Amino acid sequence: MSSSFGKRLRLYMIGLGLGTLLSIAIFGKGCSNMEWAPAGRVRLRMLSTLVRTTAASQQQLGALGITLDQLRASMDSAEIDLGASKRTDDSLYYHITSTLDGRKYQLVAAALRDYTVDSTATLLSVTGH
């Protein structure tokens, strides 16, 4: 009975190894990171679509001495507070903490839920700490 168990265990380990190699070959980096999780998806969306500001947030950016491009580039390592983020019938409001040059920034960005209507996100407010 122990040789049967050993054989099954070896076959299981071979299958697990081949499955892992196949997943890495197909999905590449997507297997080893968490970009598929909700916070990762928000980071990717903000990185690619955060291109507009309100007048108030543009003034806040000027007062802080940073640009929207710099803030957007820092989205790779941003922390998304999904608990504080809000959903309405047509919009999503994200609360994000980002670090730029060693300084933390709290920002609120909004995007439409239906990205086929308008895929861009808008910076509503930003504060530095």
Q: Are residues 60 and 86 in the same domain?
A: yes
Number of domains in the chain: 2
Strand ranges in 1-129 using DSSP code E only, listed in sequence order:
50-53, 79-87, 91-100, 103-112, 121-128
CATH code of the domain covering residue 102: 3.30.2310
Euclidean distance between CA atoms 40 and 37, whole angstroms: 5
Residue 48: count other Cβ atoms within 10 Å of its Cβ: 13
CA distance 117 to 19: 39
Which of these, 118, 105, 111, 3, lies nearest to 50 by C-alpha position? 111
- The tens digit of pLDDT for each residue in 14-29 reads 999 999 888 888 877 6
Q: Which domain holds residue 62?
A: 34-128
Residue appearing with tokens 């999503």:
92
What's the average model confidence in pLDDT over 65-81? Answer: 91
Q: Is the pLDDT of residue 47 over 60?
A: yes
| Residue 51 and residue 113 in one domain | yes
**In the chain, pLDDT over 90 holds for what percent of residues?**
57
Please tell me the distance from the alpha carbon of residue 2 to that of residue 21, in angstroms, as a whole number.
Answer: 28
Residues 25 and 81 placed together within one structural domain of the fold: no
